[in-house]
């Protein structure tokens, strides 16, 4: 006998500060492109209780010192550290996921064994767009938007490096987590979102 059981996919986007609505739209688009047959929800997260039942969490770009301070202030630090689902982190989110960062005011979550340099390319005038080759991603290079972006200067043995530039590593995977220096939520290309969701093995 086979039973049909709809899978509830719940994705929370940390909504303390930054590029929140774009992440929600990008995940909705990715889920839509990945097919039907299950129910899904993508919503904002501001308090520890909002995390319960989530399969995935997105930590958006924004100002890493600001988001870090707000994570502490809202008692989100331990709940995010002990979160059992996958985390999709971009830009400031990548800084927060690291073990070490070049700024003591950022209280990193220490979830991916890597050292991160903030604003590694410089100030806003040095922000750039580039077509970036990404390991194992079908469909050609990814059009990446780097905005006062960080890089990882070194990553631990278990961390899978997906892409690097002269300045350092700009995309990694580690277990269920993905961390990116750039902003896939700004370009309408959901291949990285889809890859992240597939890795979670929560979709039928």
In the bound state with other proteins, the residue whose beta carbon lies nearer, of 9 and 15, is: 15
Q: Is 31 exposed, middle or buried (0-12, 13-18, 19+ CB in 10 A)?
A: buried
Shortest reach from residue 124's CB to other proteins, in Å: 4
* Subset of residues 149 to 178 that bind other proteins, contact rule: CB under 8 A: 165-166
Q: Does 110 bind other proteins (CB under 8 A)?
A: no
For position 65 contacting other proteins by CB under 8 A, the verdict is yes
In order, the DSSP letters of 53-85 are: T-SEEEE--S-HHHHHHHHHHTT-HHHHHT--S
Q: Closest distance between other proteins and the C-beta of residue 50, in Å?
A: 13
Return the residue of 125, 157, 158, 201 that touches other proteins, per CB under 8 A. Answer: 125
The pair phi, psi for residue 193, each rounded to 5°, is -60, -45
Which pair of structure tokens corresponds to residue 184? 């896939």
- Identity of the residue, 1 or 49, whose beta carbon is nearer to other proteins in the bound complex: 49
User: Do the strands 86-90 and 39-45 form a parallel or antiparallel pair, or are they unpaired?
Assistant: unpaired
Q: Which residues sit opposite 28 in a β-bridge?
A: none
Binding positions for other proteins, rule: CB under 8 A:
15-22, 46, 61-63, 65-66, 69-70, 73-74, 91-92, 103, 105, 118-119, 123-132, 145, 147-148, 165-166, 183, 186-187
> Annotated active-site positions, please?
91, 183, 185
């Amino acid at each position: 006998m086979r039973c049909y059981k709809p899978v509830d996919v719940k994705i929370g986007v940390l909504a303390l500060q930054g590029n929140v609505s774009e992440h929600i739209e990008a995940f909705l688009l990715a889920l839509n492109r990945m097919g039907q047959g299950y129910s899904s929800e993508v919503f904002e997260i501001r308090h520890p209780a909002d995390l319960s039942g989530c399969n995935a969490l997105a930590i958006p770009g924004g100002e890493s010192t600001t988001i870090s301070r707000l994570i502490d202030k809202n008692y989100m630090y331990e709940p995010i550290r002990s979160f059992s689902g996958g985390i999709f982190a971009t830009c400031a989110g990548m800084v927060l996921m690291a073990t070490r960062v070049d700024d003591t005011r950022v209280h990193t979550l220490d979830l991916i064994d890597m050292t991160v340099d903030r604003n590694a390319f410089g100030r806003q005038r040095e922000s750039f767009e580039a077509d970036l080759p990404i390991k194992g991603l079908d469909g050609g290079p990814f059009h990446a938007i780097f905005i006062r972006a960080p890089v990882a200067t070194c990553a631990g043995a278990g961390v899978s490096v997906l892409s690097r530039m002269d300045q350092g590593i700009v995309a990694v995977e580690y277990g269920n987590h993905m961390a990116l220096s750039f902003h896939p939520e700004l370009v309408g290309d959901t291949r990285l979102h889809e890859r992240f969701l597939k890795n979670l093995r929560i979709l039928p």
